[in-house]
A and B are shown apart, each in its own frame.
Chain A
Amino acid sequence: MSNYLGNYSLYIALIASVYLIFKSYLDANSENKYLDKNFILITSIQTIMITVSFFSLVAAFVISDFSNETVFNNSHTLKPLFYKVSGTWGNHEGSLLLWLLVLSVFLFIFLLNSRSQDTKYKLLTILFQQIIISGFLVFILLTSNPFKTLYPIPSEGLGLNPILQDPALAIHPPILYLGYVGTSIIFSASLAAMISGNIGDNWARHIKKWVLVSWVFLTIGILLGSIWAYYELGWGGFWFWDPVENVSLMPWFCLTALLHTVIVLQKRNSFKEWTIILSITTFSLSMSGTFLVRSGILNSIHTFANDPSRGLFILSFLFILILMSILIFFFNQNKISNVAKENFILSKETAILVNNWFMMFFLSVVLVGTIYPIFLEVLNGSKISVGPPFYHNLLIPFLIPFLIFMSFGPSLKWIKDKLKKFNYNILIIFLVSLLISYVILTKTENSFLLSIPLIVLSIYLLLVTIKDFFVSKSSISQKISHFGFSLLITSILLNGLFSNEFNSNMKVGDERIFNEKVVKLKEVNVTDVDNYKSLKASFEVTNKNSSFALYPEVRIYQQPLTITSEADIKTTLFSDNFLVFNILKDDGYYNVRYQYKPLMIWIWISTIFIGFGGLLSVIRKNEQKY
């Protein structure tokens, strides 16, 4: 039943989409002053149909309807209800349906929120957004229909990858998609604004909300993915420069640049073309992300089933969209009225431009590292793998000038600023950060010449952003986000500098001494839990005068046969103690990895600060002043 319901509502949604494309195209060329009432009506019908379709898939997962192929492949009756529901988007077909749902809901909200905007602009936004929606609908119906039926009906499903049974991962895709899809509205709206020729401070104020919303969701989505990797994969890190991770980071760089540029457009009515280019690029990167992940072109831990026909479809669709946007950009460029304005070197505009340069540099490095191996394999058949050293070596040195700029850029004035008289506060802050860094760096042996300026500057920036809470006139949301960013950089650097680990094979009763700590494996208990067998180890870590216990776990799932390691992590404000173990063979030895990771929790907290700043800016009405 739910299969038919879900399937046919998608067809109705496609018909609505085709109607809206033609109607909006025709109306945009006429001189109608008002938006036809039908638009809201048809868009809401479409949104309702897609919602119905999505929830009929959810229902199929909840009642374990194995006549549905997607449910059969990805679910199991023994799975807890929460993971049955999250299983809906934990697979290729369901996740595309979620994309589609968010696309249509966002367009609907956009229509409700843009009553005061120009009619032609609204019509064109509907047109472009519906082109994207129809593309996804056709893609789903042709290559990835989640409502394919099976007969005879199997009695049991094939289960879900247990690695994906994690709360952070269950909500990670929806949040990330909200960010990705939000960029589609920015894309459609900027193309529409380009054609209707109303790019200016008004439009910037209107689109800034969407930029912020997408940016907040993208930030939190990346954070959740990173938390999942840290707690679930048990590799003891929070970022692995895996292609799929990079794919979410690239639109983030671009969107961060856009977020700053839109402010210039709003205040100074300049950077018009650049704003449009960034909008187009951000969306293209989000779409390429979908292409790279879904087509199986990448070799990555995240890659889903390979299917070249799907890849071909997304690739063609992506290039049609990019081509369309380039054509629109070049043929409407003359509509942009650029009043020649003098730009001064010492001004907020320049500072934001510098921020953009850095973002574009970071973006290029990640882009090259992710895409180049694919190119190379095609061009001369050689396989290379680009790992963390590439990214670290190219990105970290450039953090130094970036941190310097960020410490004074935000406090510059619009249009033209003067070199201020020597500021003793700044000098004091700098000396304090030198002192703190000295104390920190004497505690470690593995520091390099490069770590000295990095630590000094990151602490300096942290202190400056704290000072700004009391002194600077800029908006509170900006202060929070900038503070969060400097805290993030500082935590990452200190974490990298002070982390250490040991790896050893231990039997029950064994002890290992590591950095003045004694790690003892006390016992291993075997129990049967719902849908897996659990081996729970009990470790005791004894410091000079305190001790704590850690209980890492190995889970053996039967459907499909998978062994996962659940790390046990003891988190305090200052450090994480991370312990994970693995079964070796039958004679009682276990491979044990113990890691000491300082300030881990601050990496999560600071990212929440970054996102919270953005959120505050969305909610607060009188943010416009600065």
Chain B
Amino acid sequence: MSKNIKFLGLLLTLIIIFIILLKGLNVSKDYSNEKLKGKIDFSLNAKKLFSDEIINISDLFDKNSTSVVNIWASWCAPCREEHQFLMKLKDMNINIIGINYKDSPKNAKNFLSLLGNPYSEVITDNDGTKSIEFGAIGVPETFIISGKTNEIIKKYIGPLTSENLIEIKNLLKKNA
């Protein structure tokens, strides 16, 4: 291979890498609401964790207010870490709907009875399809969903922190 071809090849590779990294810089890392205006299909049915009753997801949401949805699992270590903050949200009288992701009901119930139950209602998601419907990519994730428009206002990937709590409170106040 001649030197020039080697040089041009290298140059081209560099330029491609440069462009990709440049684009990568602009990919939002805070997952703010701009990109998540998608609506949720509320027609899905799901089973409740504690009563085996099957309900329509839309029944869980209050049409006139904003809800907090938390996807969790008893096997997930960061969820355990996050739990204290969910309990604080509960103490602030904020309703949280829990989606129990790919978990065994027994373990999930144990988890809640040991650590406390911050959720106003928990639905089970054995195969992970409901979480996918919400656009989740892992556990834990927390969504703030507007009941009026059925839109995701804000999404938190990974465990919540104390800073998030204040933010969530403000978001709920703003969208009340």
Does A624 have its Cβ within 8 Å of any Cβ on chain B?
Answer: no
Instruction: From A54-62, A112-120, A318-326, give the one contacting chain B.
Output: A318-326
Extra inter-chain contacts (12) besides given A379-B20, A385-B138, A562-B162, CB under 8 Å: A297-B25, A306-B29, A311-B25, A312-B22, A326-B7, A374-B20, A374-B24, A377-B24, A378-B23, A378-B27, A583-B84, A589-B115
CA distance A306 to B24 in the complex (A): 12
Residues of chain B within 8 A (CB-CB) of A291 are 21
Nearest CB of A to B145, in Å: 21
Q: Known interface pairs A583-B84, A584-B84. Does A315 touch B29 (Cβ–Cβ under 8 Å)?
A: no
CA distance A57 to B103 in the complex (A): 52
Q: A279-301 vs B: 1/0 string, CB under 8 Å?
A: 00000000000010001110100
A589 touches B114 (CB 8 A): yes
Binding site for B on A (CB under 8 A): 291, 295-297, 299, 306, 308, 311-312, 315, 319, 322-323, 326, 330, 333, 374-375, 377-379, 383, 385, 505, 560-563, 582-585, 587, 589, 591
Nearest CB of A to B174, in Å: 22
Does B11 have its Cβ within 8 Å of any Cβ on chain A?
Answer: yes
Nearest 10 interchain pairs by C-beta: A311-B25, A378-B23, A374-B24, A330-B7, A378-B24, A308-B25, A561-B162, A585-B116, A319-B18, A378-B20
CA distance A585 to B111 in the complex (A): 13
CA distance A383 to B138 in the complex (A): 11
Q: Known interface pairs A319-B14, A582-B81, A591-B80. Does A330 touch B22 (Cβ–Cβ under 8 Å)?
A: no
Q: Which residue of A lies closest to B23 (CB)?
A: A378
CA distance A315 to B25 in the complex (A): 10
Q: Which residue of B lies closest to A327 (CB)?
A: B7
CA distance A429 to B115 in the complex (A): 54
CA distance A127 to B36 in the complex (A): 49
B137 touches A297 (CB 8 A): no
CA distance A600 to B161 in the complex (A): 31
Residues of chain A within 8 A (CB-CB) of B14 are 319, 322-323, 326
Does B59 have its Cβ within 8 Å of any Cβ on chain A?
Answer: no
Does B3 have its Cβ within 8 Å of any Cβ on chain A?
Answer: yes
Nearest CB of A to B78, in Å: 11
Size of interface on B: residues with Cβ below 8 Å to A? 29
CA distance A319 to B13 in the complex (A): 12
Q: B95-121 vs A: 1/0 string, CB under 8 Å?
A: 000000000000000000011100000
CA distance A1 to B114 in the complex (A): 57
Does B30 have its Cβ within 8 Å of any Cβ on chain A?
Answer: yes
A584 touches B115 (CB 8 A): yes
Q: Known interface pairs A326-B11, A562-B162. Does A374 touch B21 (Cβ–Cβ under 8 Å)?
A: yes
- Chain B contact surface mostly: helix
Interface hits, B14-54 → A, CB 8 Å: 14, 18, 20-27, 29-30
Within 8 Å by CB of A315, from B7, B11, B18, B81, lies B18
Residues of chain B within 8 A (CB-CB) of A315 are 18, 21-22, 25
Residues of chain A within 8 A (CB-CB) of B3 are 330, 333
Residues of chain A within 8 A (CB-CB) of B163 are 560
CA distance A562 to B3 in the complex (A): 57
Q: B123-163 vs A: 1/0 string, CB under 8 Å?
A: 00000000000000110000000000000000000000011
CA distance A453 to B40 in the complex (A): 53
Q: Which residue of B lies closest to A299 (CB)?
A: B29
CA distance A333 to B7 in the complex (A): 12
Q: Known interface pairs A322-B14, A326-B10, A589-B115. Does A295 touch B25 (Cβ–Cβ under 8 Å)?
A: yes
Residues of chain A within 8 A (CB-CB) of B6 are 330
CA distance A486 to B162 in the complex (A): 44
Residues of chain A within 8 A (CB-CB) of B26 are 308
Residues of chain A within 8 A (CB-CB) of B7 are 326, 330
Q: Can you offer 20 A-B residue contacts whose CB atoms are under 8 A?
A: A295-B25, A297-B27, A297-B29, A306-B29, A306-B30, A308-B26, A312-B25, A315-B25, A319-B18, A326-B7, A326-B10, A333-B3, A374-B21, A375-B20, A383-B137, A505-B115, A562-B162, A582-B84, A584-B84, A589-B114
Q: Which residue of B lies closest to A306 (CB)?
A: B29
CA distance A43 to B14 in the complex (A): 33
Q: Which residue of B lies closest to A311 (CB)?
A: B25
CA distance A375 to B24 in the complex (A): 7
Q: Which residue of B lies closest to A584 (CB)?
A: B115
B162 touches A297 (CB 8 A): no
Listed residue (A296, A297, A299, A333) with the most chain B CB atoms within 10 angstroms of its CB = A297
Nearest CB of A to B7, in Å: 5
CA distance A591 to B14 in the complex (A): 49
Residues of chain A within 8 A (CB-CB) of B168 are none
Nearest CB of B to A610, in Å: 32
Residues of chain B within 8 A (CB-CB) of A383 are 137
Q: Which residue of A lies closest to B15 (CB)?
A: A319
Nearest CB of B to A584, in Å: 5
CA distance A422 to B52 in the complex (A): 73
